[in-house]
Structures are given as C-alpha cells and as structure tokens.
C-alpha cells in the first residue's frame, strides 16, 4: 500500500523496502515524481502518450508544488479531450481514439497528484474514465463497458475480444494494483492480450482505485475469493469464452490473484507480477531498516519531512490509507501501530492449494523483500508447472516494478508463457 515511501529513505546507496526500482529517469529529482512520470510516459507503447507532450508538461512542473503537477497534466488532458471531440465530429475515428487515450492518461497523471481530500480527486478520475469510455467504441472490435453487481456495489469493468464472432477463446482476467486506474491497466494489458487472441476482462474490484472512489466502503479486504466468486460467475456468462480463465495479478494484484486461485479452481492459469504472500511484511519493510537506528519521534519527523518534500508520495500514502478504509489515519499513527494495515493479508501457508500452471515475475531492483517473497511463492506452489522470471536491465531492459520501464518485454514474457499453457 505504502510502496511510494520506499524511495524516500536511502542509505549506502540502496533504497530500503519494496517495489519501485531505485533508478529513475532523472527528469525529476524526487523519485516518486520521476516514477509517476515514467508510468505516464509508458503508455506510449499503446498510443496512450507522446514523448513531446510529456516532456513539455514535465518541463513546466515544479515538483515541490503538487498543484503545479496537477494543473499541467489536467490542462494538457483538457486540450486533447477537446481535440478528440473535434476529430470525432469530423469523422476521424482513429485520431479521436488516440486523442481520447492520451487525455485519459494525462487526466490520470493529474489525479495521481491528488490526495483523497483534494477537491479534484474524484473529478479527475471521472474525467479520465470518461475519456477512455469515449475511446472504447472506436476500437475494432470495440471495448465493451460493463457494470458488475458485486455485493451491494455496481463496479466498472471492461471486456474486450479479438473479434466479434462465434469463436470461443480463453479469457484473461487482469487484476490491477493499489493505485492504478482500471483504464490504464486495460491499455497496458488488454491490448497485448487481444492482439494474441485472448478475450480480456478487468474490473475495479474492492479496494481498487475506481471502486474506492465510487463507494467509501468498497475497500481492500483479505478474503478476495468472496467478491471474485461473483466476478468469475459474471466472466463465465460473457460471450466468446471457452471456459478457460487465466488470472493475472499486477502489483497488489499479486496478492489478490493468488488468493483467489487458492480458493477457486476456475483459475486455470495464474500470473503473479509480483507475488505478495505476506503484505504486512512488505509494509513493515518500508521502515524496518530505520527502526532501532532512529528513535520513534525522530523517525516520525523524518518520514513526515521526506513526504513534505515529495507531495506525490504523500498523496500516494494518504490514498493507501483511504483504500484500506482508514481515511483519517496519519503517518504518525501508522508508524506507532502495533498491528500493520493489512495484517491478515498473508497467504504463505496456503500456497500448496494452488495447483494450476503459474508464472511468477519480479524485477531485479524491486527490493530484497519482493524477491524473497517471489521465490517463496514459487517454492510453496503445488503446481506441476511453475516458472519464475527475474527481469534484469542487461537481459531485458527492465528491472522495475511490473516492468514499467519496458512494458513490451514484460508482456512478451507473460504471453509467450501463457501461449505455451493454452495455445499449444
């Protein structure tokens, strides 16, 4: 949840904690701002960004002033959204689609600068979603916009098929991370899946960004097999599926997807990128290296001072509390708490219940705890076919969390493996 904090503490040239590779682009001095810029630019892979637009906006941002970040990306998004509407009115559907995709991304970038208390927090997310849904019918075949009843909530979802025909195909169910927008996840993972002949489904599940924004009580929970029982029921009723389901979990989805696979045998293949089998241990790893070296009150001041210098990291941390249903929690309360948030999100003793083919992915620079948990995840599986891939800069041009620095390579490894499970 609080993975952004990892990059605020550096000692002996090594950043403590988990995820978020230690190296950045260097466009911004602050690591979290630089990483969020990387995430924004990465959508170039699927026509969701352009380098000139991104660098031009970045050049005008004052990274210590969060309003500067929000304003620059939102202004760019507003211009592109209007250009998209103009293109659509003139019959230029491909141009409109690409403009809407970039507007969606840039609204999302602006939204990532907003803490839950920020007045534009909901507005910018809503605009990002709207732009993506304006683009959906402009794909061929179109991306279907769905609303799935889960418990008392109606949750946004997308379904995308390679063709509008009678052929039945396996379906990938993608489970996003802590703060990723569902629309960005669809751009990244859906395009790659559909190009390779898979149906694709994704949803704002409880605790995912869109779900929490829509419903205050639709927060993170340990027992994800419960809502996903309803979600997989829905997936099974969609047209074009052949009954085979691959579940891919990205970032926090690396806890959610394995948890579901432990309890639901409808998951025929599992991809965990990266696996999280002990969420509280990951969270405690953020500051553990300083505990014992730095007195409690000084540690609190250190954390708060660092976050004050990194408003995007601060927004991320506050969103993390919010997504766990603890919007009033402070940094001080978090550091003093005897029971970490998500303390019941531990699946390390149940991994032998996973028997389906499984692929685990991790970046070399995600931090020791992520690598340790990934290796333990693979070791604990009962699956006959289980594979581990560690991304390195030398071999892959990627060593970052969920291959954000080389999404194409990440998808290559993922789908070449899945092809071997489903298509051969």
- Residue 404: pLDDT over 60: yes
Predicted local distance difference test score (pLDDT) of residue 296:
62
198-231, pLDDT tens digit by residue? 999 999 999 999 999 999 999 999 999 999 999 9
**pLDDT top residue among 180 and 338:** 180
- Residue 108: pLDDT over 90: yes
Residue 286: pLDDT band (50, 70, 90) is low
Q: Which fold has domain 143-278+345-424?
A: Rossmann fold (3.40.50)
- How much is the average pLDDT of 298-305? 75
Predicted local distance difference test score (pLDDT) of residue 7:
36
Q: What is the C-alpha to C-alpha distance for residues 93 and 321, in angstroms, rounded to an integer?
A: 40
Q: What is the C-alpha to C-alpha distance for residues 43 and 180, in angstroms, rounded to an integer?
A: 12
118-159, pLDDT tens digit by residue? 999 999 999 999 999 999 999 999 999 999 999 999 999 999
Predicted local distance difference test score (pLDDT) of residue 261:
98
Predicted local distance difference test score (pLDDT) of residue 26:
87
- Residue 346: pLDDT over 50: yes
- How much is the average pLDDT of 286-299? 55
Predicted local distance difference test score (pLDDT) of residue 75:
98
Residue 77: pLDDT band (50, 70, 90) is very high
Lowest mean pLDDT among 31-40, 231-240, 298-307, 313-322: 298-307
- Residue 166: pLDDT over 70: yes
- Residue 298: pLDDT over 90: no
Q: What is the C-alpha to C-alpha distance for residues 37 and 59, in angstroms, rounded to an integer?
A: 11
Q: What is the mean pLDDT of the chain?
A: 91
The CATH superfamily holding the domain 26-138 is: acylaminoacyl peptidase (1.20.1440.110)
State the span(s) of the chain assigned CATH 3.40.50.1820: 143-278+345-424
25-48, pLDDT tens digit by residue? 789 999 899 999 999 999 999 999
What percent of the chain stands above pLDDT 70? Answer: 92
Q: What is the C-alpha to C-alpha distance for residues 5 and 277, in angstroms, rounded to an integer?
A: 20
What does the radius of gyration of the chain's CA atoms come to, in whole angstroms? Answer: 20
Q: What is the C-alpha to C-alpha distance for residues 290 and 215, in angstroms, rounded to an integer?
A: 36
- How much is the average pLDDT of 69-76? 98
Q: What is the C-alpha to C-alpha distance for residues 134 and 42, in angstroms, rounded to an integer?
A: 21
Q: Are 213 and 169 in contact (CB under 8 A)?
A: no
Instruction: Say how many C-beta atoms besides its own lie within 10 A of residue 242's C-beta.
Output: 12
Predicted local distance difference test score (pLDDT) of residue 336:
74
Q: Which residues contact 196 (CB under 8 A, 6 or more apart)?
A: 415, 419
What percent of the chain stands above pLDDT 90? Answer: 80
Predicted local distance difference test score (pLDDT) of residue 295:
55
**pLDDT top residue among 106 and 293:** 106
- Residue 109: pLDDT over 90: yes
- How much is the average pLDDT of 354-362? 98
- Residue 385: pLDDT over 60: yes
| Three-class DSSP labels, the chain | CCHHHHHHCEECCEECCCCCCCCCCCCCCCHHHHHHHHHHHHHHHHCCCCHHHHHHHHHHCCCCCHHHHHHHHHHHHHHHHHHHHHHHHCCCHHHHHHHHHHHHHHHHHHHCCCCCCCCCHHHHHHHHHHHHHHHHHHCCCCCEEEEEEECCEEEEEEEECCCCCCCCEEEEEEECCCCCCHHHHHHHHHHHHHHCCCEEEEECCCCCHHHHHHCCCCCCCCCCHHHHHHHHHHHHCCCCEEEEEEEEEECCHHHHHHHHHHHCCCCCEEEEECCCCEHHHHHHCCCHHHECCECHHHHHHHHHHHHHCCHHHHHHHHHHHHHCCCCCCCHHHHHHCCCCCCCCCECCCCHHHCCCCEEEEEECCCCHHHHHHHHHHHHHCCCCCEEEEEECHHHHCCCCHHHCCCHHHHHHHHHHHHHHHHCC
Predicted local distance difference test score (pLDDT) of residue 10:
37
């Amino acid at each position: 949840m609080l993975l952004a904090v990892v990059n605020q503490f550096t000692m002996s040239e090594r950043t403590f904690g988990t995820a978020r590779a230690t190296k950045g682009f260097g466009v911004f001095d602050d690591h979290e701002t630089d990483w969020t810029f990387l995430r924004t630019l990465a959508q170039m892979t699927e026509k969701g960004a352009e380098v000139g637009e991104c660098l031009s906006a970045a050049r005008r941002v004052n990274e210590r002033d969060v309003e500067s970040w929000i304003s620059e990306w939102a202004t760019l998004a507003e211009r592109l959204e209007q250009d998209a509407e103009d293109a659509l009115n003139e019959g230029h559907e491909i141009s409109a689609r690409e403009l809407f995709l970039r507007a969606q991304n840039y609204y999302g970038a602006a939204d990532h600068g907003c803490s839950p208390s920020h007045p534009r927090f909901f507005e910018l997310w809503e605009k990002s979603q709207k732009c993506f849904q304006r683009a959906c019918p402009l794909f061929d075949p179109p991306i279907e916009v769905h609303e799935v009843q889960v418990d008392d909530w109606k949750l946004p979802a997308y379904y995308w098929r390679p063709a509008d025909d009678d052929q039945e195909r396996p379906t990938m169910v993608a489970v996003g991370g802590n703060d990723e927008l569902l629309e960005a996840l669809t751009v990244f993972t859906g395009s790659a899946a559909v190009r390779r002949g898979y149906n694709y489904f994704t949803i704002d599940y409880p605790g995912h960004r869109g779900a929490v924004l829509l419903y205050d009580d639709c927060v993170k929970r340990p027992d994800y097999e419960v809502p996903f029982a309803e979600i997989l029921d829905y997936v099974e009723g969609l047209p074009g599926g052949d009954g085979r389901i691959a579940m891919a979990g990205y970032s926090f989805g690396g806890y959610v997807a394995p948890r579901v696979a432990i309890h639901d045998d409808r998951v025929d293949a599992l991809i965990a990128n990266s696996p999280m089998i002990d969420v509280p241990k990951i969270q405690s790893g953020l500051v553990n290296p300083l505990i014992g070296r730095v007195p409690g009150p000084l540690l609190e001041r250190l954390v708060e001072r660092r976050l004050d210098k990194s408003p995007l990291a601060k927004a991320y941390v506050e969103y993390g509390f919010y997504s766990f249903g603890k919007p009033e929690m402070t940094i001080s309360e978090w550091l003093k708490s005897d029971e970490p948030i998500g303390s019941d999100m531990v699946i390390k003793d149940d991994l032998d219940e996973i028997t389906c083919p499984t692929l685990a992915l991790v970046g070399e620079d995600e931090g020791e705890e992520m690598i340790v948990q990934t290796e333990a995840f693979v070791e604990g599986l009962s699956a006959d076919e289980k594979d581990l891939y560690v991304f390195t800069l030398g071999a892959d041009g990627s060593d970052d969390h969920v291959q954000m620095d080389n999404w194409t390579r990440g998808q290559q490894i993922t789908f070449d493996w899945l092809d071997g499970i489903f298509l051969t």
